[in-house]
């Protein structure tokens, strides 16, 4: 058959479908697309009249909110419906008898009037808008508030015509769905989506929503007022209540250019596989920019897959502000508290709004669908060509969405079942490659398809067009669905079919380990009696949760009060996550979803980085060789290709607004703001890839130094009683930025940080080093709002390695200890401490995690340093006296397995400690012992080394004692190693160096692509080569670096200081400054030349003709970093791990509207549905 003949047949079929619309009622849709077989609003069935509810179930058609409220309060079983886009009657129907009622949201009078007679916005030029008008645009805020029963098509048309005021091009939703005749409330409740990795699903674009709850209370949910319930309501499948209205973000329409590739399915699958490989590789090396670049290849990509003909039409879109940095990575949900559910009140429903169902004939079977798949492939290819034609249009018309003619035709041609699955992006390419072999191999599974699949990078949607026409199972379609479920870790879409066939053993905690239990909290709060649970029963009842306390099963309600809900169920969800996802994707704790439903394949992505894993040191003034206070830390969280650099913030005279880079925390910093140097924590998406907000360490002009943070882990029990404020609490990256502009002493810095945690809560657990020239303090958080800070004794040193260190709490001396208000009372009230025991509160025992993983990952580093610096040894001798030691046969101290008995502070023995001692500790990797992973080529070594290849930077800050002979410009020195100190030189940076005189080798390092000039990349090049043969090359390279540092300390630095001091004494500030600037530039040039020379020597040692080009050694570096990652994991699944993982995975950018950077899975500002049950980034085929 020719294309013209197929086109003629299509027109005849379309014409035949149109008269059916003249039956006794129409769907509540746009006049041009109304379906002919709709059950709603009079019969409870889907838009083709199938999947009917029990005839005894009532239909609610409320005209007002008061009538709606009365219905909800009166009936024990309720479900809200729109136009019937459903193939899952157990969730579509409210129940199975006369006690149940389905309320049809299109029937509210203002909404129904608009549906029947759509309004052109130009009418508001001459008349006032009615107060109950169902669509309200706020151009200043760039938002629209719309009634939940409004079809999305009508909303989009209205926005596109809103051209008469501030935006002559009109407006649109940032991303909309393929099937736009669905109501906006239904689309949000079921997680419907377009194909955007910037804006995500419709749920991700919601800024607020109004929910009618089981007791008849209207609640407006926002991410600020109640983030937990807001996120849960985002994709709730109607389980929490009736959505009444929603406020969305909107954006101006723009010219969008659509391009087309015509491919075989194998070629398309290969493209997805290439993207998968890039994404997985970037995720393994914790390369955020690399993950975004991979995902950007599929951002807004949509494709029609003509399954029968082995053809894929891939469309991609370009416009002016499209940028890879806008691609968002998924994160774990956060849970927050909200107000309690209110009491019942209101009037009973009247006969005006409650009706028995009427009956109509459903769309009949079409026997032609059972024959000649090749014809249907050509038929739909002809119809589908209009959707993919390349060209430039406004947003509303450029992106793929079903037309009104297409909607009428597909609804009337034959009954069908739409299904959608979600597959991890980590497997998506492999999954599709394998699927192509299954479909187009000997099994010829393409014969089970009729309608094209729509591939969108959010989910995959496919449709069974045969079973309802043949009356027989569609075995070949069924084989494809089982392939997805059995071999691709696929999940089903909550608003579509397949649940009774492919999920009859559904276990929510296993399929949705990141959100099932937290969603259960919301259910327990809003609908504990199950009013909105639907008609499912027995094996088709999915809304089941089990709770345990002390190993015994208890009622869910006993664990879900407003004080314990968030943390308790986060812990339960994490237990399930670790149990299920370790089996499924080792090392990949979060999911990216590929969804398949015969209309669309969407590929999005999850994949947060792991939490920071640092090692920290403090040396008191009387414990150091020259009376200096020393603080030091390795920052291990950024990966081998995420550069670090130095920045300078000049003094600020006025107040300044400030916002965190990873959550919604925002403050106004008071005036004046002190000048300070800082080491950023890693790249940010500001166009340059450089960090403009988050910082890791620094020193200020008042002589205060801060290093933040040591990532630690609080216990589940503490977090049940006082959860983190992940959405807007104090986080690691914020602390130097908040303290250094304000702190004039170490104690004041500790007090300020403690006050901030008490007020705003902690977004994660951390330990922070704060020092001045007299003393040093260390602050640990114990829970969401409680903390303890202790002054390090002058004669002692302190070491911390990813775990809490404080022991007995003694608050009797405020000069040595500070704590959150009411700490002791809280610990007693929460059951963390029993004062009647006569024992003091043990901070570690009460507030810290203490699992098997810590014994290998964290505690050995503390034991090692206490042994090296004080002769102390833990192991089986944790309680031994200072100076005693119990070591293994290699002379290495055995790890201490009980940190509650490990000394917090020790005096150095037999000698005091200097800068070089601390540098050596920062570089330690169990050198020359059986536990040295590098020398022994053993990346599986359980005792984690201190110096990692993924260490982003190391610093030793020296705060020298006051002296009349020591000018202020020389009092503070930060020795900085840009990348791992194991093979990188420490560069001394003085507080007196003018900020604009920092050498460019220290201030510029391009992310991912080596620049050839910065010290960071020069050091990484050397490390890439040495790690190819560490035993042969490392000893010489490390000795050369240490020798150069010793010469600088012994010769160059004293000479510079003498010249600086003399010029300063003579009042010649310019000459003093010149001495310091010249010294800094000189040592930087020497370090650069040293690294170049060592790289050439290493290449020669490997037998290479020269140093490989950047692309060669960069690949070496990435492979070595992946092999020797030593990433922190969790074996006891507490909420502290979740907080660190979530924050490390968040999109590092500022948002708008929601009040800061995002906390949701798609990074939408304050509007994400991250704890919505089914809301995750996906790839979709519909």
Task: Check whether 1164 has a pLDDT greater than 50.
Answer: no
At 163 the pLDDT is 92
Q: Are strands 593-597 and 1178-1181 parallel, antiparallel or unpaired?
A: parallel
Mean pLDDT of 948-977: 94
Cα–Cα distance between 229 and 1063 in angstroms, integer? Answer: 64
Tally of helices (H runs) and strands (E runs) in the chain: 34, 40
Report the percent of the chain where pLDDT is more than 90: 42
Q: For residue 791, what are the contacts with CB-CB under 8 A and spacing of at least 6?
A: 747, 775, 776, 777, 815, 816, 817
Mean pLDDT of 95-113: 95
Burial of 486 (0-12, 13-18, 19+ CB in 10 A): exposed
The kind and range of the H/E element at 1018 are helix 1015-1026
At 337 the pLDDT is 31
- Crossing angle of helices 1030-1047 and 1069-1101, in 10° steps, is 160
Instruction: Please list the alpha-helical segments (H only) found in 683-830.
Output: 716-721, 735-739, 746-760, 823-829
Distance of CA 1093 to the CA centre of its chain: 41
Q: Are strands 797-800 and 787-791 parallel, antiparallel or unpaired?
A: unpaired
The residue extents of the domains of the chain are 615-737+751-809+820-837+854-1123
Scanning the structure block, which residue is given the tokens 């069935």?
45
What is the four-CA torsion angle of 232, 236, 240, 244, rounded to 10 degrees? 100
In the CATH scheme, what is the code of domain 615-737+751-809+820-837+854-1123? 3.60.60.10
Cα–Cα distance between 946 and 613 in angstroms, integer? Answer: 10
DSSP 862-918: HHHHHHHHH----GGGTTPPTT---B-TTSPBPPPS-TTSS-S-B--SSS-B-HHHH
Residues with catalytic roles: 614
SS3 of 293-323: the string is HHHHCCCCCEEEEEHHHCEEEEEEEECCCCC
Q: Which residue has the higher pLDDT, 886 or 269?
A: 269
Whether the Cβ atoms of residue 641 and residue 1021 lie closer than 8 Å to each other: no
Cα–Cα distance between 1008 and 639 in angstroms, integer? Answer: 11
pLDDT single digits (tens) 546-571: 766 655 666 665 555 443 333 333 32
Cα–Cα distance between 460 and 419 in angstroms, integer? Answer: 8
Q: What are the structure tokens assigned to 266, written together?
A: 């194998």
Cα–Cα distance between 736 and 677 in angstroms, integer? Answer: 10
At 54 the pLDDT is 94
Whether the Cβ atoms of residue 1091 and residue 1099 lie closer than 8 Å to each other: no
Q: Which residue has the higher pLDDT, 50 or 451?
A: 50
Q: Are strands 647-649 and 676-680 parallel, antiparallel or unpaired?
A: antiparallel
At 427 the pLDDT is 82
Cα–Cα distance between 391 and 398 in angstroms, integer? Answer: 8
Please state, rounded to an integer, the average pLDDT across all residues of the chain.
Answer: 78
Q: Report the candidate in 246, 231, 213, 214 with the shortest Cα–Cα distance to residue 82.
A: 246
Instruction: Please list the alpha-helical segments (H only) found in 401-472.
Output: 404-413, 425-440, 467-470
Cα–Cα distance between 155 and 247 in angstroms, integer? Answer: 12
Q: What b/e readout covers 491-515, taking b as 16+ CB neighbours within 10 angstroms?
A: bbbbbbbbbebbbeebebbbbbbbb
Q: Is 852 left (phi over 0), alpha (psi -120 to 50) or beta?
A: alpha
Mean pLDDT of 1147-1171: 28
At 908 the pLDDT is 94
- Laid out side by side, the sheet with 797-800 consists of 797-800, 615-619, 629-635, 953-959, 972-978, 987-990
Cα–Cα distance between 987 and 478 in angstroms, integer? Answer: 64
Candidate from 59-73, 559-573, 726-740, 893-907 with smallest mean pLDDT: 559-573
The pLDDT-based confidence of 492 (bands split at 50, 70, 90) is confident
Among 213-222, 432-441, 551-560, 707-716, top mean pLDDT goes to 213-222
What is the four-CA torsion angle of 634, 637, 638, 643, rounded to 10 degrees? -10
Q: For residue 1119, what are the contacts with CB-CB under 8 A and spacing of at least 6?
A: none
pLDDT single digits (tens) 828-847: 999 999 999 999 999 999 99
Scanning the structure block, which residue is given the tokens 């380990």?
513
Task: Check whether 934 has a pLDDT greater than 80.
Answer: yes
At 887 the pLDDT is 47
At 165 the pLDDT is 93
Whether the Cβ atoms of residue 292 and residue 329 lie closer than 8 Å to each other: yes
Cβ atoms within 10 A of the Cβ of 447, count? 18
Q: What b/e readout covers 1034-1069, taking b as 16+ CB neighbours within 10 angstroms?
A: beebbebbbebbeebbeeebeebbebbbebbeeeee
Q: Report the candidate in 987, 985, 968 with the shortest Cα–Cα distance to residue 1022.
A: 985
List, in sequence order, every residue forming a beta bridge with 460; answer none if it has no partner.
421, 1181
List, in sequence order, every residue forming a beta bridge with 246; answer none if it has no partner.
146, 209
pLDDT single digits (tens) 297-331: 877 777 778 888 888 888 777 755 555 554 445 43
pLDDT single digits (tens) 351-360: 578 888 888 8
Q: What is the value of pTM for the model shown?
A: 0.52
Cβ atoms within 10 A of the Cβ of 1129, count? 13
């Amino acid at each position: 058959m020719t294309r013209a003949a197929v086109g003629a047949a299509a027109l005849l079929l379309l014409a035949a479908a149109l008269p059916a619309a003249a039956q006794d009622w129409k769907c509540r849709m746009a006049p041009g697309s109304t379906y002919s077989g709709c059950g709603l609003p009079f019969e409870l069935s889907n838009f083709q009249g199938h999947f009917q509810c029990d005839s005894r179930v009532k239909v609610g058609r409320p005209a007002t909110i008061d009538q709606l409220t009365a219905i909800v309060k009166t009936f024990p079983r309720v479900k809200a419906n729109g136009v019937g886009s459903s193939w899952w009657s157990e969730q579509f129907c409210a129940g199975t008898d006369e006690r149940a009622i389905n309320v049809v949201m299109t029937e509210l009078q203002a909404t129904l009037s608009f549906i029947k007679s759509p309004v052109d916005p130009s009418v508001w030029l001459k008349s006032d808008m009615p107060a109950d008008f169902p669509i309200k645009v706020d151009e200043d805020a760039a938002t629209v508030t719309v009634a939940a029963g409004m079809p999305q098509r009508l909303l989009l048309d209205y926005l596109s015509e809103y051209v008469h005021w501030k935006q002559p091009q009109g407006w649109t939703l940032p991303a909309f769905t393929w099937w736009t005749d669905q109501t906006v409330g239904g689309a949000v409740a079921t997680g419907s989506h377009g194909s955007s990795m910037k804006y995500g699903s419709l749920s991700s674009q919601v800024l607020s929503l109004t929910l009618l709850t089981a007791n008849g209370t209207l609640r407006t949910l926002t991410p600020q007022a109640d983030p937990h319930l807001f996120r849960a309501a985002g994709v709730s499948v109607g389980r929490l209540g009736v959505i009444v209205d929603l406020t969305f973000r909107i954006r101006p329409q723009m010219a969008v250019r659509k391009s087309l590739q015509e491919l075989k399915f194998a070629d398309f699958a290969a493209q997805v596989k290439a993207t998968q490989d890039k994404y997985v590789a970037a995720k393994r090396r914790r390369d955020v920019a690399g993950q975004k670049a991979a995902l950007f290849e599929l951002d807004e990509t949509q494709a029609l897959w003509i399954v029968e003909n082995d053809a894929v039409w891939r469309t991609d879109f370009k416009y002016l502000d499209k940028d890879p940095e806008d691609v968002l990575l998924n994160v774990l949900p956060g849970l927050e508290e909200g107000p309690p559910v209110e009491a019942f009140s209101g009037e009973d429903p009247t006969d005006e709004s409650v009706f028995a169902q009427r009956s109509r004939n459903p769309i009949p079977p079409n026997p032609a669908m059972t024959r000649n798949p090749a014809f249907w492939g050509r038929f739909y290819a002809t119809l589908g060509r209009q959707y993919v034609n390349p060209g430039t249009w406004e947003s509303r018309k450029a992106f793929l969405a079903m037309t009104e003619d297409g909607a009428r035709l597909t609804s009337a041609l034959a009954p069908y079942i739409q299904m959608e699955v979600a597959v991890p992006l980590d497997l998506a390419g492999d999954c599709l490659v394998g699927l192509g072999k299954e479909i187009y191999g000997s099994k010829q599974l393409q014969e089970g398809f009729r309608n094209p699949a729509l591939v969108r990078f959010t989910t995959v949607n496919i449709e069974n067009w045969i079973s309802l026409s043949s009356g027989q199972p569609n075995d070949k379609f069924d084989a494809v669905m089982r392939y997805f479920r059995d071999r691709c870790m696929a999940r089903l879409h909550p608003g579509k079919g397949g649940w009774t066939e492919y999920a009859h053993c559904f276990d929510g905690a296993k399929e949705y380990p990141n959100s099932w239990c937290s969603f259960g909290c919301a259910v327990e709060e809003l609908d504990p009696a199950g009013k909105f649970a639907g008609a499912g029963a027995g094996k088709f009842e999915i809304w089941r949760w089990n709770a345990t306390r002390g190993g015994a099963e208890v009622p869910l309600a006993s664990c879900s009060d407003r004080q314990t809900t968030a943390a308790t169920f986060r812990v339960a969800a994490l237990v399930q996550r670790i149990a299920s996802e370790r089996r499924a994707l080792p090392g990949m704790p979060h999911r990216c979803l590929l969804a398949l439903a015969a209309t669309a394949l969407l590929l999005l992505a999850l994949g947060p980085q792991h939490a920071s894993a640092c090692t920290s040191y403090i040396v008191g003034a009387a414990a150091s060789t020259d009376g200096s206070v020393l603080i030091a830390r390795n920052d291990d969280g950024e990966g081998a290709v995420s550069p670090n650099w130095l920045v300078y913030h000049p003094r600020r005279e006025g107040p300044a607004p400030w916002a965190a880079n990873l959550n919604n925390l925002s403050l106004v910093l008071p005036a004046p703001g002190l000048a300070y140097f800082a080491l950023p924590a890693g790249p940010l998406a500001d166009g340059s890839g450089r960090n403009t907000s988050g910082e890791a360490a620094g020193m200020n002009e008042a002589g205060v130094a801060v290093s933040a943070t040591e990532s630690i882990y609080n216990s589940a029990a503490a977090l049940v009683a006082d959860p983190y404020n992940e959405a807007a609490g104090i986080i690691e990256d914020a602390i130097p930025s908040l303290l250094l502009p304000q702190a004039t002493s170490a104690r004041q810095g500790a007090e300020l940080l403690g006050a901030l945690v008490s007020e705003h809560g902690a977004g994660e657990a951390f330990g922070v080093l704060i020092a001045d020239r007299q003393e040093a303090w260390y602050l640990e958080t114990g829970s969401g709002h409680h903390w303890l800070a202790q002054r390090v004794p002058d004669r002692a040193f302190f070491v911390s390695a990813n775990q809490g260190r404080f022991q007995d709490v003694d608050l009797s001396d405020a000069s040595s200890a500070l704590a959150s208000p009411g700490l002791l009372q809280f610990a007693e009230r929460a059951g963390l401490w029993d004062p009647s025991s006569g024992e003091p509160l043990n901070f570690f025992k009460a507030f810290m995690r203490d699992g098997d993983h810590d014994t290998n990952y964290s505690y050995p580093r503390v034991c090692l340093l206490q042994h090296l610096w004080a002769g102390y040894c833990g192991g089986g001798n944790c309680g031994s006296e200072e100076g005693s030691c119990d070591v293994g046969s290699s002379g290495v101290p055995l790890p201490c397995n009980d940190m509650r008995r490990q000394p917090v502070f020790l005096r150095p023995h037999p000698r005091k400690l200097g800068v070089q001692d601390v540098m050596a500790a920062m570089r330690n990797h169990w050198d020359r012992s059986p536990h040295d992973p590098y020398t022994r080529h053993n990346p599986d070594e359980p005792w984690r080394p201190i110096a990692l290849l993924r260490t982003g930077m190391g610093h030793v800050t020296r705060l020298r004692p006051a002296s009349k002979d020591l000018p202020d410009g020389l009092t503070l020195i930060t020795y900085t190693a840009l990348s791992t100190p194991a093979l990188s030189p420490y560069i001394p940076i003085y507080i007196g160096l003018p900020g604009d005189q920092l050498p460019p080798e220290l201030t510029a390092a391009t992310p991912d692509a080596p620049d050839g000039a910065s010290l960071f990349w020069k050091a990484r090049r050397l490390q890439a080569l040495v790690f190819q043969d560490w035993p042969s090359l490392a000893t010489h390279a490390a000795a050369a670096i240490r020798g150069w540092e010793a010469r600088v300390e012994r010769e160059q630095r004293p000479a510079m200081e003498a010249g600086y001091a003399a010029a300063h004494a003579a009042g010649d500030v310019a000459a003093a400054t010149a001495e310091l600037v010249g010294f800094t530039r000189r040592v930087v040039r020497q370090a650069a030349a040293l690294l170049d020379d060592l790289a050439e020597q290493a290449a020669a040692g490997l037998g290479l003709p020269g140093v490989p080009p950047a692309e060669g050694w960069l690949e070496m570096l990435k492979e070595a970093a992946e092999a020797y990652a030593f990433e922190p994991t969790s074996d006891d699944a507490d909420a502290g791990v979740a907080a660190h993982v979530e924050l490390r995975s968040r999109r590092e950018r500022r948002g708008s509207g929601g009040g800061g950077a995002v906390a949701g899975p798609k990074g939408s500002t304050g509007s994400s549905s991250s704890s919505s049950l089914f809301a995750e980034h996906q790839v979709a085929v519909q």
